[in-house]
Chain A
Amino acid sequence: DTAVSQTPKYLVTQMGNDKSIKCEQNLGHDTMYWYKQDSKKFLKIMFSYNNKELIINETVPNRFSPKSPDKAHLNLHINSLELGDSAVYFCASSQGTSGYPSTDTQYFGPGTRLTVL
């Protein structure tokens, strides 16, 4: 069984379009994340949700809107896609402890490679 799954694996679209990426985890974790990995492999957190509540929102354009219908799912919707949005987007989850520094391992999905033409 896949622990963290993402769909689609590849997404090719035109500038200006709106697209969504879905993520599901079956680990029973409380916290989920979205990361962006650029062409130089640099990995940066975008959002984090704990029990469906947004807890981390990095300086991401508001064209990016995460949605968590339940704690096992975290989707990412992107409006008005731009060339610079081309990247690999990773979803991750962890047991999720807040209030003190976390020792949790994060479990990553396989990634969604987004190409904006």
Chain B
Amino acid sequence: AQSVTQLDSQVPVFEEAPVELRCNYSSSVSVYLFWYVQYPNQGLQLLLKYLSGSTLVKGINGFEAEFNKSQTSFHLRKPSVHISDTAEYFCAVTHFSGGYNKLIFGAGTRLAVHP
């Protein structure tokens, strides 16, 4: 069964600094991987997803993630963060079983950007 581990529950960073949010997954089959962002008091929205092809995936708001099959990782990066990037970030993997799909989410990483 698939599972997702987000290695950091909180990541504090100063504005304009680079950031990496780590995500590892476990799966015995091919995977589809997602990063969602949840701004305060809002629902989740998709940042980016890896389906196949190039291992470097670019998303919205200047974020990108790299799929690494050998390390079973899908870390999210941004070269220069803004205050407005303060949010909860969720890594997720598609779980396919019994003919149906569901998303398995990690526990989330809170990114706090300080001035």
Contact = CB atoms under 8 A, between A and B. Distances in A.
A103 B51 contact: yes
Chain A interface size band reads 20 to 34
Given A4-B43, A90-B43, A111-B43, A101 B94 contact: yes
A105 B30 CA distance: 17
Scoring B29, B36, B44 by chain A CB atoms within 10 A of each residue's CB, the highest score goes to: B44
A4 B94 CA distance: 21
A42 B32 contact: no
A102 B46 contact: no
B45 A108 contact: yes
Interface stretch (A13-21, A71-79, A92-100): A92-100
Contacts of B30: 101
The 5 lowest CB-CB distance pairs between A and B, nearest first, are A108-B43, A102-B101, A101-B96, A108-B44, A43-B105
5 contacts: A43-B108, A104-B101, A105-B46, A106-B46, A110-B41
